[in-house]
Amino acid sequence: MRAVVSVSLNGRAYQLEDDAHAALAEYLDAAGRALMGNPDQAEILADLEQAIADKLQRGLSPHKTVIVRGEIEQVIREMGPVDSDAGNGVPHDGVPPGGTARNGNTGSAGAQSPGTSGAAASKRLYQISDGALISGVCKGIAVYLDVDVTLVRMLFVVATILSGGLAVPVYVIMMFIVPYANTLEEHAAARGLPFNARVLVEQAKLKASQLADRAAQAAMSNHSRAARAQWKAEWRQARAQWRQEWLRGRAQWRAYRWSGAPAAPAAPAPHPSMPPLAHFISEVLGAALGLVAALVTLVWVFALLSLMTTGAVFNWMLPHLPLWAAVLGLIVLFQLVLWPLRAARHAMMPSFHGYPYPWHSLGDGLVVLLLVLFAVWYCIHHGDDLRQSVATLQQNVQPAWHQLLLAWQTLVHGTR
């Protein structure tokens, strides 16, 4: 014998076995919770009850008046979970620029889970591996800044050349620190768009075009495929050739830049006569400058790491600056500091060797690169110790700096 519960569904009485009643109550409770905050909550619940009642009616007859748990479970399966978002028509105001904006309600039916819709879309820097050349850092930056990825890559190449390879470790650091955009929501966040139907439509568009592309390729006859392969091979060859030429040109240009003379392998000029004392001084000075440059580089790499991981440079919070701008500023600052050092060092080079030698600048670049790589490695493995020592250093330095500032101010005011 089982207990029977009488319930009223939208004005009609039904008799349910007690466990059937429990299952139904649970479903309706969940529905009520899902519709929390929906202005039409009561009406939707009434509609749902009505639909359940209609379904239950099927299984009832004059000889069968009580509903069992199995029937309720079947009905609940047919009803499906109540989707709060489809009804939670919070209009997103952030209509993406350049789109064919209809009105505010574009995306209300698109979001997956409560919490992803409604909130203002926030932008984040992600790596995007779709269409990436290496890891997707440039692509992520391009998407973040809403510019063409080619532009970012070109800027990156320019930065690499200008910094003597320093941009490469920066890329590597970002590779490890910047997260990948994996889900649709993250892809949307990378663009700073609300996760809505428009984004999905655009992505579907892309996907469809890719599919069509693939289908077209598959449909191509063997002949045109061969032609395509040949064209590809030719293109690859041309690219390799172009690359070689570019490398050669670059090496020449570098040699020219460092030595101030054309890079044609000129016959080694004889050592200019130089007083031994002057020679010694310039060598010591050059070594000292190199050491200072290495130190600056080390500090810079650590500052970059600290910025990326904690959002602050050596515990100094940056004033409301987006991360990418802070990184850019840091790079520019580093180049500004390093530039006179490097110029001075290069000016001394001929005095070490007596004549300009194009390979020397290459070796120099290699040494700097190795140094930076070592600095990165050191910072990764001993980051915490370094951070602590820098923090204590900062504590010691800041009062001194303040005193210096004070002295300067009194000096300025005193002379006025």
Binding site for other proteins (CB under 8 A): 10-12, 31, 35, 38-40, 43-44, 47-48, 50-51, 53-54, 57, 78-84, 86-89, 100, 102, 105, 107-110, 112, 184, 196-197, 200-201, 203-205, 207-209, 211-213, 215-216
Across-strand partners of 5?
Answer: 16
| 104 vs 329 by CB, closer to other proteins | 104
Q: How far is the CB of 398 from other proteins (least distance, A)?
A: 50
Measure the CA–CA gap between 114 and 284, rounded to whole angstroms.
67
Q: Token pair of 214, please?
A: 């693939």
Measure the CA–CA gap between 56 and 71, rounded to whole angstroms.
8
Pairing between strand 66-67 and 12-17?
parallel
| 35 vs 166 by CB, closer to other proteins | 35
| 31 vs 301 by CB, closer to other proteins | 31
| 56 vs 305 by CB, closer to other proteins | 56
Q: How far is the CB of 367 from other proteins (least distance, A)?
A: 45
| 203 vs 252 by CB, closer to other proteins | 203
| 191 vs 360 by CB, closer to other proteins | 191
- Continuous segment of H or E residues that includes residue 7: strand 4-9
- Continuous segment of H or E residues that includes residue 85: helix 84-87
Please name the amino acid found at residue 150.
Answer: T
Q: How far is the CB of 30 from other proteins (least distance, A)?
A: 10
From residue 183, how far is each of 126, 179, 195, 264 by CA, in Å? 11, 12, 11, 54
Measure the CA–CA gap between 374 and 285, rounded to whole angstroms.
23
Confirm if 159 and 137 have CB atoms less than 8 A apart: no
**115 CB-contact burial (10 Å; exposed 0-12 / middle 13-18 / buried 19+):** exposed
Q: How far is the CB of 61 from other proteins (least distance, A)?
A: 14
| 110 vs 140 by CB, closer to other proteins | 110
Q: How far is the CB of 112 from other proteins (least distance, A)?
A: 7
Q: How far is the CB of 362 from other proteins (least distance, A)?
A: 45
Q: How far is the CB of 21 from other proteins (least distance, A)?
A: 19
**69 CB-contact burial (10 Å; exposed 0-12 / middle 13-18 / buried 19+):** middle
Q: How far is the CB of 74 from other proteins (least distance, A)?
A: 13
| 82 vs 338 by CB, closer to other proteins | 82
Residue 314 makes CB contacts below 8 A (sequence gap 6+) with 303, 306, 387, 390, 391, 394
What one-character DSSP code corresponds to residue 95? P
